[in-house]
Chain A
Amino acid sequence: NAGVMQNPRHLVRRRGQEARLRCSPMKGHSHVYWYRQLPEEGLKFMVYLQKENIIDESGMPKERFSAEFPKEGPSILRIQQVVRGDSAAYFCASSPDRERSSPLHFGNGTRLTVT
């Protein structure tokens, strides 16, 4: 049973380019969460999605960032016109239901470097 799959593992972008991060949840999981982690810091919540719906995007910056979880295919976190401050590790996690009572299963993350 495959775990949460994220790709790419490492991503380098120049300032102004777009970054697309993909996340395939565990089989049977329909809830996906994205977190950002700066070096030596904690995990900051960004967005919570269920299939085709954004449930909570209170942690997403208002501009340049968007997320989707289509009916078919992986969840995508998209960052437009990247800036150096976007450099971080982005983790996706999935659960079979709302995380209040279920553990989160994390992917190995995508490390974004903006040059």
Chain B
Amino acid sequence: QQPVQSPQAVILREGEDAVINCSSSKALYSVHWYRQKHGEAPVFLMILLKGGEQKGHDKISASFNEKKQQSSLYLTASQLSYSGTYFCGTCRAGGNKLTFGTGTQLKVEL
């Protein structure tokens, strides 16, 4: 039931782009994205509620393909501060809890 994220890890040079994917085997109502830095609490990035919805702020955006039960997080022109582990969280239709994915470790280097 846990959503599967890919890739597991990625290393970028500052300014490069990255895409992180999140796939579920169940019908979804919503997808959340969070970033967690080592030893800290997860921090909310964005939530997608409707199929096909795309949201974004600054250089981070996301899409949600309801039919494929997939979401993707897009990071453009990456900055050092983007480093951390990214988790998607999915909530099933009719569900009441967020199930987090396997995580993607992102490291941005100079």
Given known contacts A42-B103, A103-B32, is B43 in contact with A56 (CB within 8 Å)? no
Decide if A56 touches B96 in the complex (CB within 8 Å): yes
Chain A residue numbers with a CB within 8 Å of B87 are 42-43
The range of chain B's interface size is 20 to 34
Given the complex of chains A and B, what is the CA–CA distance between A15 and B95 in angstroms? 36
Q: What is the CB-to-nearest-CB distance from B56 to chain A, in angstroms, rounded to a whole number? A: 15
16 contacts between A and B (CB under 8 A): A42-B102, A43-B87, A43-B89, A44-B100, A56-B97, A98-B96, A99-B32, A99-B91, A99-B97, A100-B91, A101-B47, A104-B34, A104-B42, A104-B89, A106-B42, A107-B41
**Contact residues of B with A, CB < 8 Å?**
2, 29-30, 32, 34, 40-44, 47, 49, 87, 89, 91, 95-103
